[in-house]
A and B are shown apart, each in its own frame.
Chain A
């Protein structure tokens, strides 16, 4: 009961709301639903890297649409994590052009380092390992994305260094200072 009460109270911070209002101003007054993807991105950044049913309900409330309209969109687009994730989500490109430059080896290396398989979260909760399809980084593969950042031309040594750097990193939201 206690948990239900607390998740139902999800609210956007003032910074996130300002971003949401800015996006809403981009679309005609009777077409506000257009802002659904931008707002889902904001929700994912705001609520720990994933979008919970409660967060989706909140998005529906802001857009004045039915919750199902948000669910059907959030489940269609692959960027939205619908389950809790680690502090960082490593999204490794595995499509043909990256495969040619060693993405299979990178994925294997990360699985060994993190002690978890693709789709899982490391025991320390720092990393969720995901594979994704082409990220338009084919000349600089193998590569991976963490939030908005691309990390390219990776090899085992630079990947290990990246994991160390990320562990120490304070995650900031796009509307916060020093982002």
Chain B
């Protein structure tokens, strides 16, 4: 049984209210930080904890904080990225809905560390119902003296607001998010300058994921040294995993980084195995952008070692045989899943979500979608399969923001690991387009 740093009290009745949250030790980090620590000490503590950004990139949170410029006479901002839109990922929504005060506590402690006087939570527009939960909780925090002027008599003041997006995956990219928060289209900015220097309204800004910010209270209250004891090596702490797809027990699980992938999928404590008594075909382990892996490679590395739920182990083997922990959006495909059809839905997603600013992404995502559509619907040619790889390659690394990479990787990986299935669609269009038809490796060899 792993330790629950974030979710220990998540099922306590009334935990979404200030009083119950406070009774269970809530807001202790605000008291400790504001009364006994300097902002620099809070930054150092988060640095020492080894916490890495939980939005997907895995960049060390404390280091990101230490890059924040501090010019005289300019405000600094902390913006929480609650634009959770990566297919397969629903942990932040769960956390905010159930434990709004945990995020607010994290925002206060983190804002204090960064010297921000106004902070924003940018939440995806589809989650307006969660915005209302957060706003209620923020009002409670103001009423109890944890937000507003002179918090707990410390002299530190903070205003916190929730800002809804309008339905755009791209706004999860931090500079697109800032553009959006300024009331514009969500077109990512060229970097540098980075937000730490030129962020919201041209001021130094830190953008952090919900889960990262929600982890700060535990680190401050219990110390970085205690946090760093959990996990394996550079994968410190716990991680929320959104488990979905064809499993018996979908949901959000807080795991110690370092358990095996096999345990996560098959143990009753987590996913509970594959649904309907079926076998597992493939897994996308870190949100739809990361490479899909077939059963053999998700359970064991190419070297035959157990694959672990850590940043390092999941990426072992690079993209040839590995993948990424990413956002922790973990979804499992059973043996009845058509990989071509599934990849087509993802390509369609990225085409839909490309902001259109860079030609390789704007044109390439649409191109890949079209090619996958024709293969899936029985009109593909053999050279289409290599065309997919070629288009993906030409998008990758050639765009302002990582959406291009995110669109290219899943397509390239699907062809890499499931080429025979794509070929079967081309060679046997009638069989492949029959209702419910699924590629079967053994039968295909016989044919």
Q: Which residues of A contact B (CB under 8 A)?
A: 26, 28, 31, 33-38, 40-41, 63, 69, 72-73, 76-80, 94-97, 99-101, 132-141, 145, 148-150, 174
Contact = CB atoms under 8 A, between A and B. Distances in A.
Given A37-B183, A101-B244, 15 more contacts: A33-B183, A35-B183, A37-B180, A38-B164, A73-B184, A73-B185, A79-B126, A100-B331, A132-B126, A133-B87, A134-B85, A134-B288, A138-B87, A139-B90, A150-B129
Contacts of B185: 72-73, 76
B404 interface: no
9 contacts: A37-B165, A37-B180, A97-B288, A101-B245, A132-B167, A134-B85, A136-B84, A138-B90, A174-B128
A34 B182 contact: yes
B342 interface: yes
Contacts of B93: 136-137
Interface stretch (B145-153, B345-353, B358-366): B345-353
Nearest to A80: B166
B181 interface: yes
Given A37-B125, A99-B345, A77 B167 contact: yes
Given A41-B128, A133-B169, A100 B85 contact: no
B391 interface: no
A38 B349 contact: no
Contacts of A78: 166-168, 352
Contact of B126 (A37, A63, A73, A145): A145
Given A77-B125, A134-B87, A140 B250 contact: yes
A173 B165 CA distance: 19
B201 interface: yes
A73 B168 contact: no
B426 interface: no
Given A77-B168, A136-B93, A141-B244, A41 B182 contact: no
Given A133-B169, A134-B87, A137-B90, A99 B183 contact: no
A28 B74 CA distance: 13
A92 B252 CA distance: 22
A139 B349 contact: no
Contacts of A31: 182-183, 201
Interface in B147-162: 161
Nearest to B333: A100
Contacts of B405: none
A36 B128 CA distance: 15
A60 B162 CA distance: 22
Nearest to A150: B129
Interface in B73-106: 84-90, 92-93
A95 B163 contact: no
Contact of A96 (B84, B90, B120, B345): B345
Interface residues of B, number: 55
Contact of B183 (A73, A80, A94, A96): A73
B186 interface: yes
Interface centre among A26, A95, A138 (most CB of B within 10 A): A138
B57 to A, nearest CB: 18
Contacts of B209: none
Contact of B129 (A41, A94, A101, A148): A148
A97 B166 contact: no
A56 B128 CA distance: 20
A136 B90 contact: yes
B283 to A, nearest CB: 11
Nearest to A140: B250
Given A136-B93, A139-B243, A96 B166 contact: no
B188 interface: no
B310 interface: no
A40 B128 CA distance: 13
Contacts of B284: 96
Contact of A133 (B88, B120, B186, B352): B352
B163 A37 contact: yes
B49 interface: no
Contact of A136 (B89, B337, B345): B89
A125 B93 CA distance: 32
B251 interface: yes
B329 interface: yes
Interface in B303-321: none
Contacts of A80: 166-167
Contacts of B345: 94-96, 99
A77 B166 contact: yes
Interface in B51-88: 84-88
A76 B168 contact: yes
B246 interface: yes
B302 interface: no
Given A26-B163, A76-B185, A133-B169, A100 B245 contact: yes
B87 A34 contact: no
Contacts of A97: 87-88, 244-245, 288, 329, 331
B89 A96 contact: no
B127 interface: yes
B443 to A, nearest CB: 22
Given A136-B124, A139-B250, A95 B346 contact: yes
A132 to B, nearest CB: 8
Contacts of A99: 341-342, 345
A113 B345 CA distance: 24
B160 to A, nearest CB: 10
A79 B181 contact: no
A89 to B, nearest CB: 12
